[in-house]
Amino acid sequence: MLILLLLRDKEWSQNVQYRVMPKLTIGILGLGDIGQNLAKACKALGMTVWGVGRRDKSDRQEFVDHYTTLSRLPEVLQSCDYVCNILPSTPATKHLLSGNVLESGKDKRPVFINIGRGNVIDEQSLIHALNEGWISGAILDVFEVEPLPKTSALWKMPQVVITPHVATVSFPEEASPNFRHNMLNLCYIQSSPAILISAEVQESMREQGLEIVNDSEKCMQGKRFDLEMVGDSR
């Protein structure tokens, strides 16, 4: 992208501003599988990583320099050059960053990245934080209203990068075998038509107030089954 911008003006500029990764700090809100992999990638680039989770203690700190909880979010905003949200949408995380929460970052002015859920902050709070300079920019893949309305002010803000919440463009003939494989090997099942799910997903569902089918002792013990081995429960 930088090369293209330089070529557009038909000259090689020597006045290019950039920052090197080992001098940068990122705060990752949510240390699930995606958060852990992001932390691993950032550490490989030499970044300092803050990990933010719900529990006072976490065993997911292998690639995290500083671990803390959501209660210390102001400290994270004051310490990081980038803040990346990967939290799920739960009653506890809805509008977590709304209001004046991002004001804590006014000295560091981090870039806010949201690849988690859009309702972690309402649009007006985000726009206000950008206009006030509490954050220096925003990279947004998710929004409280999707698709993002054409009338949204975010489209015209120069410090905002918007992506379409699409990981890839796939073809049915390529996606269906992977889908079948995942269904066969990762689903938790019982003899009834209901499909039971892993303990991690159950916890997330409970937080969102969703009903969980749970009458299998084996499922709660985390035993995996293969549908090809036990037969189709339908």
- The pLDDT of residue 55: 82
- The pLDDT of residue 45: 96
**Domain end call among 132, 162, 192:** 162
- The pLDDT of residue 79: 97
- Shared-domain flag, residues 141 and 176: no
- Shared-domain flag, residues 94 and 182: no
Q: Which of 62, 95, 132, 146 is catalytic?
A: 146
Rounded to whole angstroms, the Cα distance separating 155 from 153 reads 5
CATH of the domain at 139: 3.40.50.720
> Does residue 5 sit within a domain?
no
Neighbouring residues of 229: CB distance < 8 A, sequence distance ≥ 6: none
> Does residue 150 sit within a domain?
yes
- Shared-domain flag, residues 27 and 95: yes
- The pLDDT of residue 201: 61
Q: Which of 60, 66, 128, 165 is catalytic?
A: 165
> Does residue 51 sit within a domain?
yes
> Does residue 3 sit within a domain?
no
- Shared-domain flag, residues 144 and 195: no
- Shared-domain flag, residues 153 and 182: no
**Domain end call among 136, 162, 188:** 162
Residue segments in the chain with a per-residue pLDDT below the cut of 70: 1-14, 60, 184-234
Boundaries of domain holding 104:
15-162
- The pLDDT of residue 208: 57
- Shared-domain flag, residues 176 and 158: no
Q: What is the mean pLDDT of the chain?
A: 81
- Shared-domain flag, residues 55 and 112: yes
- The pLDDT of residue 188: 45
Q: Is the pTM of this model over 0.85?
A: no
> Does residue 72 sit within a domain?
yes
> Does residue 86 sit within a domain?
yes
- The pLDDT of residue 101: 97
Q: Is 181 a catalytic residue?
A: no
Strand locations in 70-207 (E): 82-85, 111-114, 137-140, 160-162, 188-189, 195-196
Report the number of distinct structural domains present in the chain.
2
> Does residue 2 sit within a domain?
no
Q: Are 104 and 112 in contact (CB under 8 A)?
A: no
In percent, how much of the chain has pLDDT > 70?
A: 71
Rounded to whole angstroms, the Cα distance separating 105 from 123 reads 18
Q: Is 146 a catalytic residue?
A: yes
Rounded to whole angstroms, the Cα distance separating 86 from 229 reads 35
- Shared-domain flag, residues 30 and 123: yes
